[in-house]
Amino acid sequence: MSGTRGLFLLFTGNGKGKTTAALGLAFRAMGHGQRVAMIQFIKGSWKYGELESARRFADLLDFHVMGRGFTWKSDNLDRDIAVAREAWEFARATIAGNRHQLVILDELTYLVTYGMIPEQEIIDTLTARPSSMHVVVTGRGASDGLIAAADLVTEMCEIRHPYKKGIRAQKGIEF
């Protein structure tokens, strides 16, 4: 055993709970007085409950919504790619700045899936992070390279979802 070091954790799969799991780790880290940065790559202007909570933890939690919304519904894919690149550069600077013990890159997998950021560029950045920093990446369809590079991979598997029964997204559960 080599003791402790910063970990790269990956939460992927088609089931609900990837961002929720990452937020649980954020609260755990903040409970130990650790600084957390959360960067959301896809979520746009919709009002999420986690944004309201983040304001209450401003001394330990830096929360950044960097996307324009759900890319598969895009009205301007070129603009989405430019915004994704800007968000990725911000994430790289956040990691290099080494001010946080935990950095969450929410929905980053989509940037690889949609070819917005080269997979190897992301892997190189994550593996070169400060040695004590933990990084969480979330999103469906994680690439083989991200899976291979991660220290921990959890796949959320949908077995049942209320949407299939006509139950819409609800405040406090989905957003």
**Cβ neighbours for 112, distance < 8 A, ≥ 6 positions apart:** 118, 119, 122, 142, 143, 145, 146
Q: What's residue 81's pLDDT?
A: 85
Half-sphere exposure of 165 (CA within 13 A, CB side): 4
How confident is the model over 132-149, as pLDDT tens digits? Answer: 999 999 999 999 999 999
The full set of domains in the chain, from first to last, is: 8-158 (3.40.50.300)
Query: Which residues are tagged catalytic?
Result: 14, 16, 18-20, 28, 70, 72, 107
Query: Under a CB-based contact definition with an 8 Å cutoff, are residues 78 and 148 in contact?
Result: no
pLDDT of residue 19: 93
Mean pLDDT of 77-84: 85
Regarding predicted confidence, which is higher, 48 or 94?
Answer: 94
In this predicted structure, what is the pLDDT of residue 77? Answer: 79
Q: In what order do the strands lie in the sheet with 8-12?
A: 61-65, 36-40, 102-106, 134-138, 8-12, 152-155
Give residue 131's pLDDT: 97
Residues contacting 105, CB < 8 A, separation 6+: 39, 41, 91, 135, 136, 137, 138
